[in-house]
Chains A and B, each alone.
Chain A
Amino acid sequence: MSKFIGASVIMFIPWVLLAGSDPSELILGATVAMVIAGIIYRNLDYAFKSGSLAGAIKFLVVYVPVFLWELVKANIDVAFRVLNPRMPINPGFVKIPTGIKGDYGRLALANSITLTPGTLSVDGDENHLYVHWIDVMGESQKERGELVSGPFEDILGGIFK
């Protein structure tokens, strides 16, 4: 049942964004979303828990502004590196520890790392992420992990556990 509700809501929101809030469109969208959710919900592994809504609000209010600010900083950094004729880069692949489990938390963390200054997540295993860093700093794994994913580790850890 929780899978069914989750799938319907996830299909209904893009429909509202696409088709507008005309009543007939809303009824059609809700009907189609529920029919499709009824067909496919057994094959999903997403469950709509009671904490999901609070998590989504927290995600929007706490995570998104930090993310956008980091994205702007990352782009100014990239612009300076690309426009500088000598191209000051010092790249390397580093291994950083992470405490976040679960697919969605991992996806959010990897995407945040890719869009923050100078880093691109390449691969991961159980407890680590492998990151390409354009300007390697720090010595130990822990120090590097703090520098790369520090601000996001706490926020996402609070949302996805």
Chain B
Amino acid sequence: MIIVSYILMLIGAFFYAIGGLGIYRMPDLFNRAQAGTKATTLGTLSLLLGVGVQQPSWIPKLLLIAVFIAVTNPVGSSTLARAGYHSGVPIYEGTQVDDLKELYKKEDGLDE
């Protein structure tokens, strides 16, 4: 049982490392947000599961932490990406399509 727990915890920690590396290597804010959010969410879930296998009496609290992080982490990075697009952070030059431009052009037109 303890081996299963450590394998889950190692997987979680590995995805934390991937998340950090993704934040460092990706070329612009939006790609960084993608790598960071996904990797840390699964990392946390896997790590909490590993801890729960070793300490079954902690499972309710761990469940609360897991649900909270799974709900709020994507909301946080979506808000950040939206704010970043609004204030015009540089976008990676390899970006293919940009459907968002029309939305903000319309909004800016209304403001003036």
The total of chain A residues at the interface (CB under 8 A) is: 39
How big is chain B's contact interface, by range? 35 or more
Tally inter-chain residue pairs, CB-CB below 8 A: 125
- B42: which A residues are within 8 A, CB to CB? 71-72, 74-75
Q: Is the CB of B98 within 8 A of A93?
A: yes
Knowing A17-B61, A123-B85, say if A78 contacts B22 (CB, 8 Å). Answer: yes
Contacting residues of chain B (20-54) with chain A, CB-CB under 8 angstroms: 21-22, 25-28, 30-31, 33-35, 37-39, 41-42, 45
Q: Is the CB of A121 within 8 A of B38?
A: no
The SS class assigned to the B binding surface is: helix
Contacting residues of chain A (60-103) with chain B, CB-CB under 8 angstroms: 68, 71-72, 74-75, 78-79, 81-83, 87, 89-95
Q: 1/0 per position for B56-98, CB-CB distance to A under 8 A? A: 0000110110000011001101100110010000001011111
Interface residues of A (CB under 8 A from B): 14, 16-18, 20, 68, 71-72, 74-75, 78-79, 81-83, 87, 89-95, 107, 110-111, 114-115, 118-123, 125, 130, 132, 134, 136
